[in-house]
Amino acid sequence: MSEMVIFGGNRLCGEVKVSGAKNAALPILFATILIPKDRVLLKNVPEIRDVQLSFSILRELGISVKKKQNLYEISTDLACFRPPSPSMVGEMRASTYLMGAMLGRFGRVELPMPGGCDFGTRPIDLHLLAFEKLGARCEREDDRITVSAERLRGSTIVFPIVSVGATVNAVLAAIAAEGETVIVNAARETHVSDLCRFLRACGAEISGIGTSVLRVCGGKKLHGCGYRIIDDVIEMATYLSAAFVTRGEIKVKGQFDPSMESIVQPLYEMGALIREEDDGVTLSAGGKRFGTEIRTAPSPGFPTDLHPLYTVLLCLTENGGSVEENIWQERFRYAVQLQKMGASLRRVGTKIYAAPSTLYGGNVVAVDLRAGAALIIAGLASCGKTVIHNTELIERGYESITDKLCALGADIEKRQ
């Protein structure tokens, strides 16, 4: 089990470049299964644990993955059907994307229930609804899911609630279905749009990208392409948060897209001085720090991934604030760890209230990826030494986070 040791109190200054988006890279990697021949060249692939695990799963299916300088070459012409390893699928929630991709390529998929961060109930009912609408048979037995179809046909899929995972799987399966598929109440997150743009670069016909209604004209033969994965806005917000809590001034270099508006707005409200530029975002901590109220919501709303991090920010404002969680019911497990560091937090239903707090170093445990990132932010703002255990979870989603923070002036060390 790895750990990080942080001595807080250093003001962060300088420039940091964000990596490719984890949430975009994973569905795109699994989408390559749908390409029968030719090769895909991917740039800006983040060097993180979940990506390496995805490569291992692809290789199990006979897919070639090679790194050449700053890009990855993926060839799927020798891909064959076989159930993926339960141990690898069990580590990562995004392995659900194998269902849509393998169903489209092989007409069948057998998958153990996927793992990943534990945020309470994470049903896959909407994924299976999409497959059944396209003509597939879905069976669940114990902890295994089997989906099969001799022939997929386009249909209209209406999701009762917005689901990123179900939207991704519906798009992947619809690529192989005959005729047009209309996906209503589709997720609008930027990583869903990036997947659709990648598939379009491979020859797919998809319209409505970035809206709540996607139209996929299936049955088109896909080909290889060269593609650059979008920059990670969650990573961008993480470094902005680090600068805010340390009263620093940094420039985070990366592509600024419309989804950033929901991320920077609370920072404005808390007193940060922010300048949006063509090649990134600059934040100065400013003077007084004010509380605010935040609600997580599907895009274009505030992303649930940043809920734990911004709770730390609210603890350091003059009048506190609250975060209302509307996506994952058990996102709040991080709160106990922050309370060990002096955070004054109170949960009422789906809301967590943060009162002005003085944070101190301590021994804490990363219970999931973004909870771990929140502990790093808290450690940077704390008095004394913080030891964060189980930091391999953080490495699932952040490339070289220790090195990047040290380059900004943080006193942080990674230990195995």
pLDDT per position as a tens digit, 142-179 = 778 899 999 999 999 999 999 999 999 999 999 999 99
- Tell me: pLDDT of 390 over 90: yes
Same-domain status, 55 and 70: yes
Under a CB-based contact definition with an 8 Å cutoff, are residues 175 and 205 in contact? no
Q: How far is CA 42 from the centre of its chain?
A: 18
Percent of the chain with pLDDT over 90: 83
Give residue-wise pLDDT tens across range 293-324: 999 999 999 999 999 999 999 999 999 999 99
pLDDT band at 87 (very low <50, low <70, confident <90, very high): confident
Residues 6+ apart with CB under 8 A from 292: 266, 269, 270, 314, 317, 321
> Parallel, antiparallel, or unpaired for β 108-112 and 144-148?
antiparallel
pLDDT, mean of residues 3-24: 96
Continuous H helices in 344-388: 369-381
Same-domain status, 206 and 280: no
Asked whether the CA dihedral 202, 54, 146, 36 is positive or negative, the reply is: positive
pLDDT band at 37 (very low <50, low <70, confident <90, very high): confident
Residue 364 CA to residue 367 CA, distance in Å, equals: 9
Element (H, E) at 44: none
Selecting among 13, 80, 117, 225, the annotated active-site residue is 117
The pLDDT score that the predictor gives to residue 345 is 98
Under a CB-based contact definition with an 8 Å cutoff, are residues 171 and 206 in contact? yes
Under a CB-based contact definition with an 8 Å cutoff, are residues 322 and 294 in contact? yes
Same-domain status, 30 and 104: yes
Question: 233-245 vs 369-381: helix axis angle to the nearest 10?
Answer: 20
Q: How far is CA 100 from the centre of its chain?
A: 18
Residue 61 CA to residue 41 CA, distance in Å, equals: 18
Q: How many CB atoms lie within 10 A of CB 148?
A: 15
Same-domain status, 11 and 125: no
Residue 411 CA to residue 416 CA, distance in Å, equals: 17
In the chain, the amino acid numbered 221 is K
Same-domain status, 193 and 265: no
Q: Which residue is it, tokens 């984890």? A: 22
Return left, alpha or beta for 126; rule: phi > 0 is left, psi -120 to 50 is alpha, else beta: alpha
- Residue 40, phi then psi, degrees to nearest 5: -115, 135
Counted domains in the chain: 2
315 is catalytic: no
Same-domain status, 223 and 243: no
Same-domain status, 221 and 95: yes
Residue 260 CA to residue 377 CA, distance in Å, equals: 19
pLDDT, mean of residues 176-185: 98
Judged by DSSP in three states, 75 sits in: strand
292-297 long-range Cβ contacts below 8 angstroms, 24+ apart: 292/266, 292/317, 292/321, 293/321, 293/322, 293/323, 293/324, 294/266, 294/321, 294/322, 294/323, 294/324, 295/323, 295/324, 295/326, 296/323, 296/324, 296/325, 296/326, 296/327, 296/331, 297/326, 297/327
Same-domain status, 87 and 99: yes
Closest CA relative to residue 30, chosen from 71, 69, 74, 68: 74
**Residue 374 token pair:** 């929140």
Choose one of 165, 196, 228: the last residue of a domain: 228
Closest CA relative to residue 46, chosen from 404, 408, 301, 327: 404
- pTM of the entire structure? 0.94
Average pLDDT, the chain: 93
Choose one of 228, 249, 270: the last residue of a domain: 228
In the chain, the amino acid numbered 10 is N
Q: What is the DSSP letter of 221?
A: P
Same-domain status, 102 and 175: yes
Same-domain status, 400 and 320: yes
Give residue-wise pLDDT tens across range 96-148: 999 999 999 999 999 887 654 544 445 689 999 999 999 999 998 877 889 99
Q: What is the residue range of 143's domain? A: 22-228
Residue 180 CA to residue 288 CA, distance in Å, equals: 54
Residue 114 CA to residue 378 CA, distance in Å, equals: 30
Same-domain status, 138 and 245: no
Choose one of 182, 199, 228: the last residue of a domain: 228
CATH classification of the domain holding 172: 3.65.10.10
Residues pairing with 158 in the sheet: 184
- Tell me: pLDDT of 211 over 60: yes
Same-domain status, 235 and 328: yes
pLDDT band at 205 (very low <50, low <70, confident <90, very high): very high
